[in-house]
Structure 1
């Protein structure tokens, strides 16, 4: 049980604590805290209330039935257990996939430490399952620039040790290796850091999106004020346009707006990319970004369909259900780099218990698994629904004690983290760079449509046809010609290169002579 008392602290400290007590729960990209009551107790986060406050619909059995009808597979355990619990337009993504064959998955990670913790893995494990079920391309954004800006803003503009640009870039690389170790398919997954990738058509989209968001709108969504650095105020545009497939033309077989192939006229060729919808699996605290995005998708020069979201709850901190695991507090989280003894010690010493104060009371009245942290962790990582229900039943009846629940949790987490660490050891810099290299992704999409989604955009997305795009052209360009002449784009590029070489030859010949045509001395 948490308390607001600061024992032995001066009045100023107590006043500060009092000022920070949220009258209501606080959930945004930079703050997560349950409501604190008058006695100083932190209440569990009320996800239903948050959904009502921001009009985010809850997932229902109807969504699960639709999911299973489209994929032919049972819904993921996190959906069944209401840990992935709300959405925006999830049904529309399913409709589009059934009719057109594919969509883009997008999610991300803000790297603030060299190792991810258990809570960070949850959205990625769910995303991996979605990618495998739908066989679609996935983009993962590492927001190292945002973390640098936020940390420096938090430190009143002072750059402290361990929080320079290069530090956050290093965290990004370590976290990318962590993500890869979770088992993503390199053929259809692109991972990048903002510091290394942003430019080209991505930046073109960013600049346009920035023009659609006012300072007041950004401040209202994220809590910025007059002392917030301008980088943070503008940052949200990047995270928003990262959800546009048109920000990644190379992933679909198109050239990007980067030297030396820069061609402003080529923008016309990206029309079909604007027709592809995106599904974003993420925790509920990231939803404000995409609320802003959904309001502006259709105002872009190339209008994009509103992004869809499927939102998860937080993996609670060890101390209880009023907050989430934090990389800045080692005792609140199980890190993916923790050794078995560290995991055991953290669960035994810090995990909030739903048990009774005495053995006698627990045997008589039973415990509460709904607030028990060890049971909560098992609900995320234990595969068997039957075993999970059995644990809850025994705990409620008093048959199972808190120590036994913790022991079962420790065993499961040690196995999960241990398996992860073995895989992580095999992720080399070369493997990481393969994931971060912009290239055409290979994916099959809806098997009921013949796997044509692997051609990229073309041919499948009827909205592109409605926009006047030559639907089959890009599809033809993405395949090798049987006569060995190469694709249309390759032949055109070869002709341009030939003409350029001829012009260079002529220039060199003229330089060899004087301006008057005589040989230079």
Structure 2
């Protein structure tokens, strides 16, 4: 029989994993608070007892007990991976508050500065001290049955007794597979995903007990270190990735920030990018990285980099290291075709991607997600496909090198991607997808399956023909930051499939004409300048709708100047005006009140007319035959060092 893995305090991996699975089930079914939930636990042979806090005034009913048991066994049946997340204590508490701690762990020793967190995607995130053994996946538990319930002490809540229904052989195998350290490491989940798992006190019946539990949790939080208390007090309800459509709508209505792949809403103050960086766990693009890109490419950095419009990344520094050592990479971007023409906000990632292709001399794949728009929008499949071909003309007009660029429709290319799509689908549980993307009971099954289709182009084996059979190429994905949840899941899955994680580089949102509370939308034409607009359309839209940060009166404006942070004409010039000195002059004069809003709008109108005119001229040269040439599956022409042997691939 294999040796039993035990920590220094005698705990074993089966028990440690089981109590976290049961807690996740209780939080889901009984709507327990997530912070400081488990009061105590004890194990004797195959029977485990644990006390948890709930908002209940009375013991759980038999029906509720069986529901908790069924949910726990469903988690076990999923054989969900139990990941290890490493974070500093300060960062973890700033992002998740006290949700990561159990009552029996308090107070945390002052010497603990780095935390090991056990992450069950879409279910739980718990602090687990180093040396505590854990199973790599829930399926190794076999199963459990709740065998008893005590409810003597309302302060402690119900005490569950449960028996693990696991054979001696299964138990030995589970303990053999356990680890005292890292199981399967992954990146920290978004704060919004963990917030979405938590539960607020109910209203109506049970409010006295709910209030007492809430007050008890609050008191315990306040007794913890000040930094943890501050972060717990400031944490917000679910918003962004992981919130359902209903949650998003409710949060938006309350003026709170909602950022996910399908909704971008903020209060009057606009998008809080600092909060977004904390919640998503991205790295900021520093001046050193910008300088390094200039040195590597031997050209000036794009204005989007110089001005912090592309502002965060995941593993961009690693990609640069490997590029400098001679390893190739490719670019991946895309478009969800839902309108006849693009707006100027759509051009931002394409213009930046063209710069990257030219600067690094690398191949590019562009995914047209016509299938996605069919699933999410009121479009026929034929219309989604047609719009994809129409939008491809606008993308080609951005100036991509045809020899190095492959544009593909999901509907046309899916058979080439299907093997990787299936691998990804099998590696991601429904709970993980629900937690990351906010799916609910109303989501059609096509939506639930789609993220794997968007993830597959992140891996070079998806492009056997375009890349000439090379599978050793890294991937860099330029994107707006609201798309990060898709690729955070992709990066978590990649190592388990034997693939490299894609590197990401994120842009800030291009604001609507009406201001920073949302991004520009093709479905609301008065928020957007379309690439098909006439000069008269541009003048009218900017004149009528572009929100000013100037004073309400001439006197007020001259005394206080314009608020450049909310002034749309100035912010749009940051995106489109190439001349840094002229932009700085406008900022100085307008910010001091010596330049009027009407003058800045006139400058912007001239810039936009130029951009749209040039785009329309380039698009006029794109024929149906040109589109077919870009979309034909073929070997791309690009310079790259010879492929390394498979054994040397990381």
The answer to whether TM tops 0.5 is yes
**Unmatched segments (≥5 aa) in structure 2:** 1-247
The residue aligned with 2:263 is: 31
The residue aligned with 1:118 is: 344
**Unmatched segments (≥5 aa) in structure 1:** 1-15, 36-41, 153-162, 255-271, 445-452, 454-458, 469-521
Q: 2:525 aligns with which of 301, 323, 330?
A: 330
- Indicate conservation of the 8 Å contact 1:102/1:134, yes or no: no
The residue aligned with 2:461 is: 246
- Indicate conservation of the 8 Å contact 2:403/2:637, yes or no: yes
The residue aligned with 1:496 is: none
Q: How does 1:145-156 map to 2 (within 5 A)?
A: 145-152=371-378
Cα deviation code 1:29-51 (max 9, x no counterpart): 0010113xxxxxx2210111101
Q: How does 1:426-441 map to 2 (within 5 A)?
A: 426-441=621-636
Q: How does 1:55-204 map to 2 (within 5 A)?
A: 55-152=281-378, 163-200=379-416, 202-204=417-419
Shift of 1:227: 1.1
Q: Aligned equivalents of 1:79 and 1:183: distance in 2?
A: 19
Question: SS at 1:355's partner residue?
Answer: coil
Query: Closer, same or farther in 2 for the Cα pair 1:195/1:385, shift >3 Å?
Result: same
- Indicate conservation of the 8 Å contact 1:277/1:304, yes or no: no
Query: Closer, same or farther in 2 for the Cα pair 1:91/1:366, shift >3 Å?
Result: same
Q: Aligned equivalents of 2:396 and 2:286: distance in 1?
A: 31
Q: Select the structure that is richer in strand.
A: 2
- Indicate conservation of the 8 Å contact 1:366/1:398, yes or no: yes
The residue aligned with 2:589 is: 394
The residue aligned with 2:565 is: 370
The residue aligned with 2:441 is: 226
Question: SS at 1:104's partner residue?
Answer: strand
Q: Aligned equivalents of 1:91 and 1:22: distance in 2?
A: 38
Query: Closer, same or farther in 2 for the Cα pair 1:22/1:243, shift >3 Å?
Result: farther
Bigger mean CA offset, 347-356 vs 66-75:
66-75
The residue aligned with 1:406 is: 601
Whether 1:464 and 2:628 are equivalent positions in the alignment is no
- Indicate conservation of the 8 Å contact 1:100/1:462, yes or no: no
- Indicate conservation of the 8 Å contact 2:252/2:258, yes or no: no
Q: Aligned equivalents of 2:445 and 2:611: distance in 1?
A: 41
Query: Closer, same or farther in 2 for the Cα pair 1:442/1:23, shift >3 Å?
Result: same
Bigger mean CA offset, 429-438 vs 190-199:
190-199
CA RMSD of aligned residues (A): 1.6
The residue aligned with 1:3 is: none
Question: SS at 1:242's partner residue?
Answer: helix
Cα deviation code 1:45-64 (max 9, x no counterpart): 01111011111111101211
Query: Closer, same or farther in 2 for the Cα pair 1:194/1:17, shift >3 Å?
Result: closer
The residue aligned with 2:473 is: 276
Runs of 4+ in 1 over 2 A off after TM superposition: 16-20, 459-465
- Indicate conservation of the 8 Å contact 2:252/2:265, yes or no: no
What is the TM-score of this pair, normalised by structure 2? 0.61
- Indicate conservation of the 8 Å contact 2:421/2:456, yes or no: yes
Cα deviation code 1:426-445 (max 9, x no counterpart): 1100000000001111112x
- Indicate conservation of the 8 Å contact 1:352/1:372, yes or no: yes
Q: Aligned equivalents of 1:74 and 1:411: distance in 2?
A: 25
Q: Select the structure that is richer in helix.
A: 1
Higher-RCO chain (CA-CA 8 Å, sequence separation at least 6): 1
Shift of 1:74: 2.1
